[in-house]
Amino acid sequence: MPGPRHMGGIMAIGPDNNLYISVGDLDGTFRGGNYDTMAQNYLNSTFVDGRSGILRIDQNGSSVGKGILGNLFTLNLYYARHSK
């Protein structure tokens, strides 16, 4: 069946009052092309784009600080990432 799969979608407020959002890889095959990102641990992959992980933001939608992948947007949103 064509269409996005692996979407995630669970959201929760953590004990630190930050919002945690699970985002799947969205199985980019429905668009054609290569949508495997570095967050999915693919060598020679495309840049991280907010998919394939658990993102952490404050309740105003801002970054909470350094993410596990780096300080720049979207890297700073990652609390956890997909592991192959």
pLDDT per residue over 54-67, tens digit each?
A: 899 999 999 998 88
* Domain residue extents for the chain: 8-81
pLDDT, position 52: 78
**16: exposed, middle or buried (C-beta count within 10 Å: 0-12, 13-18, 19+)?**
exposed
- pTM for this entry: 0.72
Q: Which residues of the chain have pLDDT under 50?
A: 1
